[in-house]
């Protein structure tokens, strides 16, 4: 239990036993307690060890699949790719992970708008960070996208880095969506509406 939560509970108990205070005092402290618990839950980072498997592309985020479609990717590939989009609600874990081992060959942060994350245009209009990972079997793109509430993207990798499947890619504060762009010949293992778990759900097989 965090010090903040402990302090609130002690304050409520002290006030209850030693003072006659208005009901709104308890309502206020109760609201602060709930907010404190929610923030702690939001920033949780459960450990999910992975044994890297170069035959699989794993989900980079917890959430729900909101898009599975072929698109023309024009930032890096300039050709058709399969796009899989995962929307993260405020109740999901918001740490993102590396979906495939390899080398980071491209990274770019784009300033942009803050459309709601389930809007298809958010992938190219919102603030976002794009990372391309390549190995001997595939070249894929991971795009972290800020949303209406999310206003800050944290990304830990750099061009030239060697990355391992399952390691931490970054974090989107209070948001929102991660897109994967995969080769068109890969077999996709998820469908619209599927729930994903980072480092556990198999998105595609190489």
Confidence at 48, pLDDT banded by 50, 70, 90 = confident
* Tokens of residue 111, six digits: 């300033």
94: DSSP letter: -
Question: Rounded to two decimals, what is the model's pTM?
Answer: 0.78
52: DSSP letter: -
Same domain for 8 and 100, yes or no, is: no
Residue pair 201/59 in contact (Cβ under 8 Å)? The answer is yes
Q: What's the number of domains the chain is made of?
A: 2
127: DSSP letter: -
Same domain for 102 and 32, yes or no, is: no
| pLDDT of 8 above 50 | no
Provide the pLDDT for residue 112: 80
Same domain for 25 and 98, yes or no, is: no
| pLDDT of 14 above 70 | no
The closest alpha carbon to 132, from 58, 182, 93, belongs to 182
Report yes or no on 73 lying in a domain. yes
Percentage of the chain with pLDDT > 70?
Answer: 72
| DSSP output for 81-93 | EEEEEEE--TTS-
Q: Which long-range contacts (CB under 8 A, 24 or more apart) does 184-189 make?
A: 184/70, 184/80, 184/81, 184/82, 186/57, 186/82, 186/138, 188/68, 188/82, 188/84
At CA 154, angle to CA 134 and CA 59, rounded to 5? 50
3-18 and 23-42 helices, crossing angle to 10°? 170
Same domain for 11 and 63, yes or no, is: no
Which of 85, 101, 123, 176 is an active site residue? 176
Provide the pLDDT for residue 1: 47
Report yes or no on 76 lying in a domain. yes
pLDDT in tens, 110-147: 988 777 666 677 777 788 999 999 999 999 999 999 87
CA–CA dist 118, 176 (Å, integer): 9
Q: Is 176 a catalytic residue?
A: yes
Same domain for 30 and 64, yes or no, is: no
194: DSSP letter: -
Pairing of strands 95-97, 79-87: unpaired
Same domain for 182 and 109, yes or no, is: yes
Which structural domain, as residue segments, surrounds residue 187?
A: 56-205
| pLDDT of 167 above 90 | yes
The closest alpha carbon to 143, from 179, 104, 99, belongs to 179
Same domain for 138 and 186, yes or no, is: yes
For residue 157, what are the β-bridge partners? none
């Amino acid at each position: 239990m965090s010090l903040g939560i402990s302090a609130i509970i002690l304050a409520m108990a002290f006030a209850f036993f030693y003072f006659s205070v208005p009901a709104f005092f308890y309502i206020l402290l109760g609201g602060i307690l709930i907010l404190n618990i929610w923030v702690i839950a939001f920033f949780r980072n459960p450990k999910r060890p992975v044994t890297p498997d170069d035959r699989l592309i794993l989900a980079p985020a917890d959430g729900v699949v909101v898009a599975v479609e072929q698109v023309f990717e024009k930032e890096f590939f300039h050709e058709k790719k399969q796009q899989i989009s995962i929307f993260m609600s405020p109740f999901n874990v918001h740490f993102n992970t590396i979906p495939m081992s390899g080398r980071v060959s491209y990274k770019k942060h784009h300033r942009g708008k803050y459309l709601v994350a389930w809007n298809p245009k958010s992938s190219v209009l919102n603030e976002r960070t794009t990372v391309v990972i390549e190995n001997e079997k595939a070249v894929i793109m991971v795009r972290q996208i800020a949303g209406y509430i999310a206003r800050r993207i944290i990304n830990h990798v750099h061009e030239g880095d060697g990355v391992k499947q399952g390691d931490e890619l970054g974090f989107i504060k209070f948001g929102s969506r991660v897109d994967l762009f995969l080769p068109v010949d890969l077999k996709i293992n998820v469908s619209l509406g599927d729930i994903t778990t980072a480092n556990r759900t198999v998105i595609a097989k190489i």
